[in-house]
């Protein structure tokens, strides 16, 4: 009889412990914290992708904005954030935005010679929910870039080394042979 009561006690103890753990996890999901880490660069070859000649932009300004997928209403908006000398930014967000599309948007570049936003990278999507299978608080959106007014002379060699041959329109006078 004592053996049965010990087994019953252990069974209830395990059930209660599991329930408490489940309640703790469910309660903490409402306070998800995310750290978004990204980079802004100057596209020195005007090809809308990073190369060996790309340069980080110190003082470029970005902003996070989340909009509800159904209504389009803004669900979160960060302050404008400036990049450091390595072109990196960091944005901390608390909450879960499962029903929203969240984008890091380019706002402005401090460089007059590199201030035209790249068409493909004006904004970068970032997922801010724990309900999609992605674990951890760090989130890494795609890098964002501004294009230089004129391609650098070394772009021809770099792009040829990368396997790009037909980029005459993008490179202007620096056409790849």
Collapsed DSSP state (helix, strand, coil) of residue 37:
strand
Between these two residues, 49 and 90, which has the higher pLDDT value? 90
Mean pLDDT calculated for residue range 46-66: 95
pLDDT for position 135: 83
Q: Which of 105, 100, 97, 94 lies closest to 38 in space, CA to CA? A: 105
Q: Which of 77, 42, 75, 76 lies closest to 63 in space, CA to CA? A: 77
Integer angstrom CA distances of residue 89 from 99, 108, 157: 25, 14, 30
C-alpha to C-alpha distance for 13 and 115, rounded to whole angstroms: 63
- Whether residue 50 lies inside any domain: the answer is yes
- Whether residue 142 lies inside any domain: the answer is yes
- Whether residue 80 lies inside any domain: the answer is yes
Does the pTM exceed 0.85?
A: no
CATH number, domain of 114, equals 2.60.40.10
pLDDT for position 119: 80
Q: Total structural domains in the chain?
A: 1
Mean pLDDT of the chain, nearest integer: 83
């Amino acid at each position: 009889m004592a053996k049965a009561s010990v087994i019953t006690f252990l069974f209830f103890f395990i059930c209660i412990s599991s329930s408490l753990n489940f309640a703790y996890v469910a309660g903490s999901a409402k306070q998800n914290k995310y750290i978004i880490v990204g980079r802004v660069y100057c596209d020195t070859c005007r090809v809308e992708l990073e190369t060996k000649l790309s340069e980080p932009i110190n003082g470029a300004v970005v902003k996070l904005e989340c909009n509800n997928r159904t209504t389009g209403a803004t669900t979160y908006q960060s302050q404008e954030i400036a990049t450091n000398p390595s072109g990196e930014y960091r944005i901390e967000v608390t909450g879960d935005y499962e029903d929203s599309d969240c984008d890091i948007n380019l706002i402005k570049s401090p460089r007059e010679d590199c201030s035209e936003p790249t068409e493909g990278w004006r904004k970068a999507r970032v997922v801010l929910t724990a309900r999609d299978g992605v674990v951890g608080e760090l989130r890494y959106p795609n890098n964002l870039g501004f294009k230089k007014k004129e391609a650098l002379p070394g772009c021809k060699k770099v792009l040829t080394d990368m396997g790009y041959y037909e980029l005459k329109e993008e490179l202007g006078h620096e056409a790849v042979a």
